[in-house]
């Protein structure tokens, strides 16, 4: 029974972050001129239509649209034999990448809205990066 409680908790946490990200993306997309910056412009809210992947690295849209579901399916298949922390990491990666994938399908961009220094990103990006870091930390190959 504990196994199912763990999976339920993982899905609720990831689902909550996914929902918040989708709401904030909707707000940013529909109000692109609405910018709120603090600390001399280093922190705040700013809409950015990201045509690339992480760090705005350019990749052809067709490659992203075809490769993402394949990669996410492969990552999902890794959840069967992993620890609870690894399952949380994989859930964060899948849900964050799915949120950004939805943007690509509907808008041909990823909607970013959190400004930190010279970068603009979103909660989905934080989910993916956190999941990758957590997965590396739980990997049996790390010292």
Q: Which residues are marked as active site? A: 112, 125
- Residue spans of the domains in the chain: they are 2-138
Per-residue pLDDT reduced to its tens digit, 78-107: 666 667 888 888 889 989 999 999 999 999
* This prediction's pTM: 0.82
Return the structure tokens found at 80.
């069967």
Q: How far is CA 99 from the centre of its chain?
A: 6
Please provide the DSSP assignment of 65-131 as one string: HHHHHHHHHHHHHGGGG--HHHHHHHHHHHHHHHHHHHHHHHHSSEEEEEEETTEEE-HHHHHHHHH
Under the banding of pLDDT at 50, 70 and 90, the label for residue 3 is low
């Amino acid at each position: 029974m504990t196994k199912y409680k763990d999976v339920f908790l993982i899905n609720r946490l990831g689902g909550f972050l996914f929902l918040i990200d989708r709401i904030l993306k909707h707000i940013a997309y529909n109000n692109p001129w609405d910018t709120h910056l603090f600390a001399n412009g280093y922190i705040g809210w700013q809409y950015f239509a990201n045509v690339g992947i992480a760090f705005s690295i350019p990749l052809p849209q067709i490659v992203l649209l075809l490769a993402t579901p394949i990669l996410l399916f492969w990552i999902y298949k890794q959840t069967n034999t992993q620890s609870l922390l690894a399952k949380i990491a994989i859930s964060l990666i899948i849900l964050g990448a799915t949120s950004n994938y939805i943007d690509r399908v509907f808008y041909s961009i990823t909607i970013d809205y959190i400004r930190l220094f010279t970068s603009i990103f979103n909660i989905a990006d934080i989910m993916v990066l956190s999941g990758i870091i957590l997965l590396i930390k739980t990997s049996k190959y790390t010292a």
